[in-house]
Amino acid sequence: MRLSLFAPLDRHLAPAPDPERVSWIGAQAYAHRGLHGSGVPENSPAAFAAAIDRGMGIELDVQRSSDGQAMVFHDWELDRLTGGTGPLDEHTAAQLGAIRLTGGEDCIPTLRQVLDQIGGRVALLIEVKSRRDLRVPSICLAVLRVLEGYLGPHAVMSFDPRVPRWFKRYAPLTVRGLVITEENDHTLLSRMRRRLSLWSASPDFLAYDVRDLPSRFAASQRKRGLPVVTWTVRSPELLDRAALHADAPIAEGAGVV
C-alpha cells in the first residue's frame, strides 16, 4: 500500500509535535546505557559520569522493584550483570541498591539517584521496560513520580506503545518516544503492526533500530516532524548511517565519536 494513503491518519492519530518541544533531541549523541566499557558497567553511575564528562546525552533503562521504585537496570534477570540471581522485580529497592554491578564498584541505582547525579547537565532518554504480562500503569507511575520537578531535558520511550500512550494521557508535558525494530520483516502485516503501534502510542519521536535504516517508515515520520534517534550505533560505519538517516545516534564502543 502507498505510504501517502496513511498520511491523513498519521496526522490525525499521531500528530507531529511542536518543533520547539523536541528540538533538543537531535542536539547531541547519546551514550547507550551510559559510557560503559572495561571496569565501567552499563547503566552504572560511573558510566553516567563518563558520559557527562564527554558532553554526551544519556540513554538508560528503567524497570520497577517489588516495592514500586524505578530502578535503572536493563535485564529482567539479575544474573548477567550482577552476582545476584532471579528476576529484578522480586527484590525491593533497598535489596537491589546493595547488589554490586559486575565489573565495577557501583551498585544498582534508582532513577532518583541518577537524576540527582545528572542534575540537568545533559539530555536523558529513559527507556521504560515493559512486557505484556506487566501492568504498564505501575511502572509509568513509578517513573513519573521521580520525574516530577526535574527540569533537565528528558524523555521517556518504550517498545510498548502503551507506555507513551499512558504518558500522553497522564503527563502530557513529558516528551515521549516509541522504540521500533523492524527485524528485517517487511511483510504487509508487519508494516501494519508498526503503523498501528504508531497510532496507539502517538509519540513525539521515534527511537529506531539502526540496522533497519534507511527505512521508508522512519523517513516518512521524520519528514513530517518526528525526530528519529537510532540505536545501537557500535561502529564508524553505523555512525555514518545514523548521520544520513537519523537526527542523533545512541552509541557505544567504537560508535562513540
Euclidean distance between CA atoms 28 and 162, whole angstroms: 27
Its pTM stands at 0.96
pLDDT tens string for the chain (257 positions)? 455 688 999 999 999 999 999 999 999 999 999 999 999 999 999 999 999 999 999 999 999 999 999 999 999 999 999 999 999 999 999 999 999 999 999 999 999 999 999 999 999 999 999 999 999 999 999 999 999 999 999 999 999 999 999 999 999 999 999 999 998 888 989 999 999 999 999 999 999 999 999 999 999 999 999 999 999 999 999 999 999 999 999 999 999 98
Give me the count of residues in the chain: 257
CA dihedral defined by 84, 89, 91, 92, rounded to 10 degrees? 140
- 117 touches 49 (CB < 8 A): yes
Residue with cell 508498526: 194
Q: How are beta strands 175-180 and 205-209 bridged, if at all?
A: parallel
- Helix H segments across 119-186? 136-147, 162-170
CATH topology of domain 3-255: TIM Barrel (3.20.20)
Between the CA of residue 244 and those of 99, 229, 240, 247, 248, what are the distances in Å?
41, 12, 6, 8, 10
Q: How are beta strands 57-64 and 154-158 bridged, if at all?
A: unpaired
In the 3-class helix/strand/coil scheme, how is 23-74 assigned residue by residue?
Answer: CCHHHCCEEECCCCECCECCCCHHHHHHHHHHCCEEEEEEEECCCCCEEECC
What type of residue is 40? Answer: V
